[in-house]
Structure 1
Amino acid sequence: MRSSQSILQLMIIVFSILNTSLHAIASDPPLTLDYYASTCPTLFEIIKKEMKCSVLADPRNAALILRLHFHDCFVQGCDGSVLLEDTINLQGEKKASTNINSLNGFRIVDRIKNKLESECPGIVSCADILTIAARDAVILVGGPYWDVPLGRKDSVTASLPLAESNLPTQNEGLVTIISKFLYQGLSVTDMVALSGAHTIGMARCESFRERIYGDFGATSGKNLLSETYLNSLKSICPPTPVGEGKNNITAMDYVTPNLFDNSFYHLLVKGEGLLNSDQEMYSGVIGFQTHELVKKYAADPLAFFQQFSDSMVKMGNITNSESFVNGEVRKNCRFVNT
């Protein structure tokens, strides 16, 4: 146990040192809070209105936009590359195994972009739209507010290989997931706090089958409520794909699925996390630091909200230096300008 902890501590130190050089640009991005103050003063009002309509129509839309932002920032930085469609000259990221069945919400971004193009043509980047929309999505389902630094450019490239390699997946071990966050310049604390976004949103059967037919019973204990919950999950997700079973979905936080709160951490403490990657933060044998953070956020919702806000700003500041030089403000978020 101690040797495993020492190895993980050493990894964190090494990756932290590497990140100083790998993400020097991301640590001090050329972003400002008033970037659109004179060029598009109605920006925030327009995005807030469109997001409010979308979330009122379906609370799940909040999670969809938040996930889009996360998947964007982990590939080439927060540059709107996740929004690009495949063309003859460009291979997008939407068909990556980490994205193809987990991303949606593109039409919401389209609607916001169309409104802004009518009001402030050629001014607001899709990358900035997605960053603000993610913040507003969280607020609309009860989460915290944070100021969003702006001034990103949209990339003219995308990277399917980086989408395959950079994004954490539900059945990866804790060490691998921590390393992926550290590579982006995000700490273990950032990882645990940002994982709290799973307090909203849904997961497909394929994402949690291994968990419910694996160690779910061992982590949750032999109590009636947990066994009832596990049986309900098994009724949703058969042990092997049957018909459309692999596409069946359930809430990642079954207690308050449409409310952004700290209920997600309560579930981890009870051993009822839906995804392997989430439960490992509390139950994993090497998760000494993550275990304590999960307990902290379960006990103190204000501490979770504050850290989540700070970590979202930090993630949003992962920049694509190439986009600042050769990027653009797309007229259509799905395609580079011609």
Structure 2
Amino acid sequence: MSWQLLTGAHTIGFAHCDQFRDRLYNFNGTSQMDPSLNATLAEALQKKCPPANEDEDAATIVPFDATSPLQFDVAYYVGLQTGQGLLFSDQVLFADASTQATVKQLASSQQLFFDQFSQSMIKLTSVVSNQTGNIRKHCSAFNDEAS
């Protein structure tokens, strides 16, 4: 269950349009919207992120969790149940039968999420500290590429 818990970090934070634009306009090369994306959310995202506007991509950010973007809570998992996962990799957690029950369980109990998330972070920290490498300062680039 650890990796499903770690994606729960997306209950806070933001993404740039280029991280999810294909879900809005060209899902899997179909020139269509991702059918798993909530229609109301898609409409709001299309207003913020036009089909191709690289100049605005750097400036435009959208919260991973539109319900409570600055609160660490279970709203991320609740949103997945109604197609409100911003990234496809998030939404597939609810679409996949092997992880759907976990999403439902975490959405139903904030205390369970808090307890399990903290245990998963401790486990991840021990894995990272026991291997060669480093933790990225910016998630989208290796440290030697980050500015």
- Identify the TM-score tier after normalising by the shorter chain: 0.7 to 0.9
Rounded to whole Å, the distance in 2 between the matches of 1:271 and 1:216 is 13
Provide the residue aligned with 1:237 in structure 2: 49
Report the residue type matching 1:302 in the other structure.
Answer: Q
Rounded to whole Å, the distance in 1 between the matches of 2:101 and 2:88 is 18
Q: 2:19 aligns with which of 207, 211, 224?
A: 207
Aligned-residue Cα RMSD (Å) equals: 2.3
Tell me, which stretches of 5 or more residues in structure 2 are unaligned?
Answer: 134-142
Cα deviation, residue 235, structure 1: 1.4
Rounded to whole Å, the distance in 2 between the matches of 1:197 and 1:310 is 13
Structure 1 pair 302–239 and aligned structure 2 pair: CA distance change class (3 A):
same
Identity %: 35
Instruction: Give a deviation string over 1:206-259, Cα, whole Å, max 9, x none.
Output: 101112233766224xxxxx433211101111122x252322211000000000
Report the residue type matching 1:245 in the other structure.
Answer: E
Instruction: Give a deviation string over 1:46-71, Cα, whole Å, max 9, x none.
Output: xxxxxxxxxxxxxxxxxxxxxxxxxx
Report the residue type matching 2:109 in the other structure.
Answer: D
Report the residue type matching 1:244 in the other structure.
Answer: D
* Matched ranges for 1:38-49 at <5 A: none
Q: 2:5 aligns with which of 157, 173, 193?
A: 193
Larger Rg, first or second structure (1 or 2): 1
Counterpart contact for 1:268–1:282, Cα < 8 Å: yes
Q: 2:80 aligns with which of 268, 273, 288?
A: 268
Report the residue type matching 1:271 in the other structure.
Answer: G
Provide the residue aligned with 1:124 in structure 2: none
Give the length in aligned residue pairs. Answer: 128
* Matched ranges for 1:147-186 at <5 A: none
Structure 1 pair 228–195 and aligned structure 2 pair: CA distance change class (3 A):
same
Q: 1:292 aligns with which of 96, 101, 105?
A: 101
Rounded to whole Å, the distance in 2 between the matches of 1:288 and 1:232 is 28
Rounded to whole Å, the distance in 1 between the matches of 2:54 and 2:65 is 25
Rounded to whole Å, the distance in 2 between the matches of 1:243 and 1:265 is 30
Provide the residue aligned with 1:246 in structure 2: 57
